[in-house]
Chains A and B, each alone.
Chain A
């Protein structure tokens, strides 16, 4: 539910990164006619390599046989990102003769179920919440992914990703783009001027916070206002702490409501968040130092887009936000450089215990098909391949959890850092929990209750109980 708002802000970061590997690959593969990558040649059910593949189209040999078909794609991803998607599959369209018709809407989540119910489903939708995917599967519409797509996901993604596209044992949807949420944004120059070093453990991070307080810098800034999705940023903080305290298994149980909100585990996690983002000394200036947006409650009325305003001027030290926040810095400082030696950069939000290796909370979209036509399956197969992911990644400001994408494809340092973590096979990767929970909680009670927790200082137990009460009974 939060995705369109988050994605809307994503703008072209590395504008010059136009080294389209796709074109390079097409042009350079004249040495051996049919040497497409393994995934393309062996298994695609729609593949009918005819032998007379046009020059330059060899990588697409596996998708041929659907000339003149058109495949509609419905998504929440809007321009300018739309253009980059179209650019990334332009060659595919040219070679296969499949016309991919792109339609973006900022009312995606509201319209998709309506369109399906009205018999007007798109061929493919990019769904940003596995929870919505589950709802749609229960109500009918999505069709299972073809075998090649499934094989691609097995080959290229952390197994957790496949599980999120699988409902009741059937694999429906392959991941597309991803974002890395376990980041803390900071200003390298402010850190250097004050002699701070990037913390690598949870305790170091809080030692640093106390140091900042002593130096008159507000350590943390935060904002969770986000229009119709107000509160999602606060749910992210709770998710980070849940995964870091208890690891993947408890996190999964929490997502499935086997560990309820009003439990000792979640209460403890809330207490950790309270000591961090509800700490009057740490956040949004408070009246202690007279900086920033104000007291703890002001987190509820500060737009998440504005929250990081104080980072570059050094009015607040750190901001916990996802990788897509990289697009935001341009609005605070023209020409802001997002790099380790630039105006602003991010470090990995450290683990709390050694028992949970490299906990990573992330998000992303899932390519869901509503038709099993061969052309649609060809597009699904293509979108799950590493060739597509590499071509799209080369256009900048987009990260895939596909480990078939060479890390040096990413022109911007923050994308590369995100990809490093997202493709980490040993890391404890988990999807944004609120996107996995039923919408009544993940897009409803959890948002509003966490907002009340910040705005009205509503007691933790009442907050957690109210979220549990909203959990659908069926």
Chain B
């Protein structure tokens, strides 16, 4: 152990030297820029400040995206151009159509229920004393990785012969409720998809609750007061005042969870690896690229995912901007 630390020291030195060089270059650039005067100063400053960001964006996002699009038109080894064939495979085969349907269901159901539960909890807890305690507890799953959460829920859904002691919580509860032969939950098509979504909802509800709760608290007191004076109570107050006031936040929460859902990979990989009719695009993309070494098909799936995320991201960013403009 001690040796390992000592062996690591040179690496630390290298890292420190790297940082020093970085700051040196930065100082030099700023020094030179400081010398620039006159009509060039504006554009030069712009380039100096935006340059690195643009450079990193090009190297880390634009180039790989173009490469991926290029690969998606090639064969498995990336040696031959085959045009639309990979896309025809994505949209044309039965198994893939099921994958797309599953992903679509995830996209609708997981964000909707996470937000719905989050909103309900935010309202219920809003006027509770010591609301921070239940809030912290509900928020806690957010701190668990998807893989960790999946392992926990894998145990909840575990199946054993009904005549034997049970491992799975769900099966045991079913037996207590008088269902003598609880099914092997993860094999129960198509419901197993929803069982996997439950994990996502379990994790994301806390996020939705915290953000929406903050938005509800930010509603100005005079607005609520005015509405109450006009005779609005209960459901009316909620649907006509609260919802419109937090509409922007609501949309940001939904779209954020949607984007996370589109990329979801860990849950399906750990729970079923896409077997039993639960496959989704991101896991299939990984399997094609890194298990079966078909970079063409893997890239095509990546492009489909990429294209599907773009409108959500645009909408999300726009809403965020609007929010900021109001404040």
Q: Verify A294–B160 contact, CB threshold 8 A.
A: yes
Q: Verify B275–A1 contact, CB threshold 8 A.
A: no
A32 near B: Cβ within 8 Å? Answer: no
A455 near B: Cβ within 8 Å? Answer: yes
**Which chain A residues lie closer than 8 Å to B276 at the CB level?**
300, 451-452, 455-456
A113 near B: Cβ within 8 Å? Answer: yes
Q: Verify A439–B187 contact, CB threshold 8 A.
A: no
Q: Verify A287–B187 contact, CB threshold 8 A.
A: no
Interface 1/0 per residue, A283-312 and B, CB below 8 Å: 011010011111101101100000000000
Query: With A138-B77, A291-B161 in contact, is A231–B275 under 8 Å at CB?
Result: yes
Tally B residues with Cβ within 8 Å of A: 29
Q: Which residue of A lies closest to B269 (CB)?
A: A228
Q: Verify A230–B275 contact, CB threshold 8 A.
A: yes
Give CA–CA (A132, B277) in the complex, Å.
Answer: 27
Q: Verify B77–A290 contact, CB threshold 8 A.
A: no
Q: Verify B291–A439 contact, CB threshold 8 A.
A: yes
**Which chain B residues lie closer than 8 Å to A444 at the CB level?**
287, 291-292
Give CA–CA (A230, B294) in the complex, Å.
Answer: 19
B293 near A: Cβ within 8 Å? Answer: yes
Residues facing A in B157-190 (CB within 8 A) are 159-164, 184, 186-187, 189
User: Closest Cβ of chain B: how far from A115's Cβ, in Å?
Assistant: 13
User: Closest Cβ of chain B: how far from A100's Cβ, in Å?
Assistant: 17
A257 near B: Cβ within 8 Å? Answer: no
**Which chain B residues lie closer than 8 Å to A285 at the CB level?**
161
User: Closest Cβ of chain B: how far from A261's Cβ, in Å?
Assistant: 16
Interface 1/0 per residue, A247-274 and B, CB below 8 Å: 0000000000000000000000000000
A55 near B: Cβ within 8 Å? Answer: no
User: Closest Cβ of chain B: how far from A106's Cβ, in Å?
Assistant: 13
Tally A residues with Cβ within 8 Å of B: 38
A227 near B: Cβ within 8 Å? Answer: yes
**Which chain A residues lie closer than 8 Å to B162 at the CB level?**
294
Give CA–CA (A252, B54) in the complex, Å.
Answer: 54
B203 near A: Cβ within 8 Å? Answer: no
Give CA–CA (A290, B189) in the complex, Å.
Answer: 24
Most chain B CB within a 10 A radius of its CB, from A138, A228, A472? A228
Q: Verify A294–B161 contact, CB threshold 8 A.
A: yes
B274 near A: Cβ within 8 Å? Answer: yes
Give CA–CA (A91, B159) in the complex, Å.
Answer: 50
Q: Verify B161–A110 contact, CB threshold 8 A.
A: no
Query: With A448-B275, A455-B187, A455-B276 in contact, is A293–B160 under 8 Å at CB?
Result: yes
Q: Verify A113–B273 contact, CB threshold 8 A.
A: no
**Which chain A residues lie closer than 8 Å to B272 at the CB level?**
230
User: Closest Cβ of chain A: how far from B99's Cβ, in Å?
Assistant: 12
**Which chain A residues lie closer than 8 Å to B79 at the CB level?**
139
Q: Verify B159–A294 contact, CB threshold 8 A.
A: yes
**Which chain B residues lie closer than 8 Å to A291 at the CB level?**
161, 164
Q: Verify A113–B275 contact, CB threshold 8 A.
A: no
Known: A227-B270, A440-B76, A444-B287. 16 other contacts (CB 8 A): A1-B291, A110-B290, A132-B293, A139-B77, A227-B269, A230-B272, A291-B164, A292-B164, A295-B184, A300-B187, A300-B276, A439-B291, A448-B275, A455-B276, A456-B187, A456-B189
Q: List, sorted by A's number, 12 A–B pairs whose CB atoms are closer than 8 Å.
A: A135-B293, A138-B77, A228-B273, A287-B161, A290-B164, A291-B164, A292-B164, A294-B162, A298-B161, A301-B184, A448-B274, A451-B275
A-B CB proximity, top 3 nearest: A110-B290, A290-B163, A439-B292
Chain A residues engaging chain B, CB cutoff 8 angstroms: 1, 107, 109-110, 113, 132, 135, 138-139, 227-228, 230-231, 284-285, 287, 290-295, 297-298, 300-301, 439-440, 443-444, 448, 451-452, 455-456, 466, 472, 474
